Amino acid sequence: MPNSDALRRILLAGALLCAPASALADGPARVVSMNLCTDQLAMLMAAPGQLHSVSYLAADPRGSAMADQARAYPVNHGLAEEVYLMQPDLVLAGTYTSRATVDMLRRLGVPVETFEPSNSLQEVRDGMIRMGAVLGQSARAAEIVAAYDADLAAFQEAVAHRPRAALYAANSYTSGDRTLAGQILATAGLANVAAEAGYDSGGILPLEVLVMAAPEAVITGRPFPGASRSEEVLRHPALLAMQDDHASGHVTDRDWVCGTPYVLRAVAEMAELRRTLIEVDQ
């Protein structure tokens, strides 16, 4: 497993690299990102002065792994007029980001690159390579990807015992093995109860099914402030009883949301949970 120094090297590699001004020669000079995940990839990859603005979500520590870094940039709210007046020569968006804004910007002649959400650790790698190419920062991306590959490989050792865990979020939502969250569990050496129940990707897992599956750990999302009916299930007595009887962990949502090197921090957290479960079982 990677040590803390190695993880810091991955997570901060992009921010600590210093690119000369000539690095912009083959890439866009004024970039605006409108999506939380492209925000973070761009902050990791962009040369100084190349990234002009990130979305307002990038500065929210509940969902962004780079909230501190994001505060150095002007924020946008994904509005077409707002983004157009920033005079970008490239806009970065997700495939589900403000479709009306993306379509309008393209009609106005502004280049827009859209990125699919990452559903696997391989797609995390692919997204970093693509962002490097789009920004004209392929050399910078190669260094970050090399560090990611090296530390990911440290989690690939054979696992003899895989404790059973369940991902359980608002609205009883769970994630199977064909999701980024599911791959984080698998890489950390945990068996996914959702996969046992026939969920390849995401879906609604009834609380009754979860209770009958009797996982050794239930991993829930961290509740947002205020009251939400969607999160009521996370306070159900049956679920609370399971968490009292077994080990449980809270998802650090910001490390799980986007396809960035920060997913390895989530893997490390789940690997520590696995070790705790094994010790309890012994």
For residue 266, the model assigns a pLDDT of: 95
CB atoms within 10 A of CB 241: 11
pTM of the model: 0.86
Exposure letters 194-216 (e unless 16+ CB within 10 A, then b): bbebebeebeebeeebbeebebb
**For the chain, which domains are there?**
4-152 (3.40.50.1980), 164-281 (3.40.50.1980)
Residue 165: both structure tokens together: 């865990």
Q: What is the pLDDT along the chain (282 residues), one digit of tens a residue?
A: 555 454 545 444 444 443 333 344 579 999 999 999 999 999 999 999 999 999 999 999 989 999 999 999 999 999 999 999 999 999 999 999 899 999 999 999 999 999 999 999 999 999 999 999 999 999 999 999 999 999 999 898 777 899 999 999 888 999 999 999 999 999 999 999 999 999 989 999 999 999 999 999 999 877 777 667 888 888 788 888 777 665 566 666 899 999 999 999 999 999 999 998 888 766
Exposure letters 152-182 (e unless 16+ CB within 10 A, then b): bebbeeebeebbbbbbbbbebbbbbbebbbb
Give CA–CA dist 177/157, Å, rounded: 19
Q: Which residues pair with 181 in a beta bridge?
A: none
Give CA–CA dist 1/149, Å, rounded: 13
